[in-house]
């Protein structure tokens, strides 16, 4: 019965999480990604970004149009991160991406409304971000999280088995004593 | 003296030494990868854990198949023990993958094939264990659970080949028969990955063995209780001990 209550509580928590995160999960399911380097940028007369082209590790080129809602999270060489939307920084976006192109810095682009015409993929970029390899502190945080979670879970499981073992031993002792 | 020697050569000590060596290799010996930087070191944990999760479902399905064939409780116990350890490895494979995805893909989760099929594997483990926990005890429960496990094993090759068949962001295979022949294995990356895989495989075997032994004792107690009339005071003590566990 106790196990059932734990199971039920876990189920309620899981359902709550799913309901809470459903919109973002649905968005994640429908948002394809491209990792690669910038190989081309197109700007208008006011030097505002219109499109850019990314080449992934297999050499596939993807052209991205930008919209007012496109989000940017790009770092400069010093590691300072610039976060804004296209509406508020279309010129800076062109400048930053051009800098990334010169430095061959990989970026991650999530996009929507992808179309393919004679092998050329085109989409509307929803977010353009650095792969963050430059940020040593951030990376160390992620490594710490992975190793800490892994070992905490393993030790918790071993502890759980130890408790189970103890109960079984107790039961055996009780049964043995009753048989004497 | 014999006790000390036994401890030194025991699988637990061997596992601890291997795990310590692996951690030294990961953090001290192997050079930092140029493309992803320090965060790439997650690979040496993520890949062996995911391997453990896949190995788990293979053992569960093999144990289930042998149980259906031989009708021997040993195989059923092995399947349950492996499923429980497998759910830990499966959950960790998902968690470590999500944490790694954030800095390199900029999202925690994306709906690509490798991730989705691994999530399905985790749900197969959970379904198997929930079925065993809530279905009335008996041979029918064992038979039906065995079928779930055997069907669930179909997911294993799908996970393995998913990155090569439908890859978007997840890197292609670097180990096994379908791996890219120009992969970086054979270099220092390969050495550390191999050492880590051996360490986690040994840990997996140890955990399954521990869980199997507990399960065996539990089954023996159940059989004993069924066949012998125990004093009510003893039963009361046992149920109290179970309540505190």
Q: Which of A16-25, B59-68, B153-162 has the lowest mean pLDDT?
A: A16-25
- A 46-85 near B (Cβ less than 8 A): 73
Distance from CA of A40 to the nearest CA of B (A): 21
Residue from A109, A167, A180 whose CB has the most chain B CBs within 10 Å, to mutate? A167
Helix B155-166 vs helix B43-70: crossing angle, to nearest 10: 140
pLDDT at B245 over 50: no
User: Residue B14: phi, psi to the nearest 5?
Assistant: -60, -45
Give me the helices (H) in A62-135, please: 86-103
On whether ipTM exceeds 0.90, the answer is no
List Cβ neighbours of A89 (8 Å cut-off, separation of 6 or more).
A72, A82
Calculated CA dihedral for residues B173, B174, B176, B179, nearest 10 degrees:
60
In angstroms, the CA A55 to CA A64 distance is 11
Look at A142 and B99 and tell me if their CB atoms are within 8 Å. yes
Residue B232 pLDDT: 65
Residues of chain A with pLDDT under 70: 1-31, 119, 131-138
pLDDT for residue B184 is more than 70? no
Q: Whole-angstrom Cα distance, residue A53 to residue A76?
A: 19
pLDDT of A29? 44
Mean pLDDT score, B90-100: 92
Return the residue matching tokens 């973002």. Answer: A24
Provide the pLDDT for residue B59: 93
Inform me whether the C-beta atom of residue B202 falls under 8 Å from chain A C-beta atoms: no
- DSSP H/E element including A68: strand A61-75
Find, among A130, A109, A131, A104, the residue nearest to A121 by Cα.
A109
Which residues numbered 92-111 in B keep a CB inside 8 Å of some CB on A?
A: 92, 95-96, 99-100, 102-111
User: Which of A28, A150, A172 lies closest to B92 in CB terms?
Assistant: A150
pLDDT at position A149, please? 92
pLDDT tens, residue by residue, B205-224: 999 999 999 999 988 888 77
Which of the residues B25, B77, B99, B228 would you substitute to probe the A interface, choosing the one with the greatest number of A C-beta atoms within 10 Å? B99
Q: What gap in Å lies between CA A146 and CA A133, rounded to an integer?
A: 17
B234: pLDDT confidence band, cut at 50, 70 and 90?
low
- Rounded to two decimals, the pTM is 0.67
Q: Which residues contact A125 (CB under 8 A, 6 or more apart)?
A: A52, A64, A65, A66, A67, A70, A109, A110, A111
Give the pLDDT mean for B159-169. Answer: 71
What does the DSSP assignment read for chain B? -HHHHHHHTSHHHHHHHHHHHHHHIIIIISPPBTTTBGGGGGHHHHHHHHHHHHHHHHHHHHHHHHHHHH--HHHHHHHHHHHHHHHHHHHHHHHHHHHHHHHHHSSS----HHHHHHHHHHHHHHHHHHHHHHSPSSHHHHHHHHHHHHHHTTHHHHHHHHHHHH-SSSPPP-SSTTS-TTSSBTBHHHHHHHHHHHHHHHHHHHHHHHHHHHHHHHHHHHHHHHHS---HHHHHHHHHHHHT-
**Whole-number percent of chain B with pLDDT over 90:** 28
Provide the pLDDT confidence category of residue B243 given band limits of 50, 70 and 90: low
> What pLDDT is attached to residue B241?
65
DSSP code, position A171: H
């Amino acid at each position: 019965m106790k196990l059932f209550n734990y199971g039920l509580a876990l189920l309620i928590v899981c359902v709550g999480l799913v309901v809470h995160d459903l919109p973002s999960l649905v968005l994640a399911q429908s948002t394809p990604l491209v990792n690669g380097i910038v190989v081309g940028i197109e700007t208008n007369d006011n030097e505002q970004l219109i499109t850019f082209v990314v080449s992934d590790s297999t050499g596939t080129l993807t052209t991205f149009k930008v919209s007012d809602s496109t989000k940017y999270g790009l770092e400069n060489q010093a590691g300072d991160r610039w976060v804004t939307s296209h509406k508020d920084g279309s010129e800076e976006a062109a400048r930053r991406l051009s800098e990334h192109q010169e430095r061959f810095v990989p970026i991650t682009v999530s996009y929507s409304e992808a179309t393919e015409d004679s092998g050329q993929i085109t989409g509307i970029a929803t977010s353009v971000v650095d792969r963050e390899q430059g940020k040593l502190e951030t990376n160390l945080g992620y490594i710490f999280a992975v190793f800490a979670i892994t070992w905490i879970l393993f030790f918790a499981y071993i502890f759980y088995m130890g408790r189970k073992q103890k109960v079984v031993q107790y039961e055996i002792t009780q049964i043995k004593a009753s048989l004497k | 003296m014999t006790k000390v020697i036994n401890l030194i050569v025991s699988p637990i000590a061997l596992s601890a030494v291997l795990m310590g060596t692996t951690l030294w290799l990961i953090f001290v010996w192997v050079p930092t990868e140029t493309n992803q930087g320090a965060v790439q070191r997650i690979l040496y944990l993520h890949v062996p854990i995911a391997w453990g999760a896949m190995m788990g479902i293979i053992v569960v399905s093999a144990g289930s198949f042998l149980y259906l064939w031989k009708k021997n409780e040993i195989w059923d116990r092995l399947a349950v023990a492996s499923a429980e350890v497998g759910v830990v490895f499966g959950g960790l494979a998902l968690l470590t993958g999500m944490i790694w995805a954030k800095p390199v893909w900029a999202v925690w989760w994306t709906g690509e094939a490798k991730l989705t099929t691994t999530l399905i594997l985790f749900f197969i483990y959970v379904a198997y264990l929930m079925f065993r926990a809530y279905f009335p005890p008996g041979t029918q429960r064992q038979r039906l659970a065995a079928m779930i496990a055997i069907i669930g094993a179909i997911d294993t090759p799908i996970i393995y080949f998913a990155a090569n068949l439908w890859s978007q962001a997840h890197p292609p295979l670097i180990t096994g028969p379908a791996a890219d022949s120009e992969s970086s294995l054979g270099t220092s990356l390969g050495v550390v990955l191999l050492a880590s895989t051996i360490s986690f495989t040994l840990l997996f075997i140890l955990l399954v063995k521990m869980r199997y032994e507990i399960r065996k004792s539990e089954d023996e107690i159940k059989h004993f209780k069924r066949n012998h009339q125990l004093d009510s005071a003893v039963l009361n003590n046992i149920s109290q001990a179970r309540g505190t566990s």
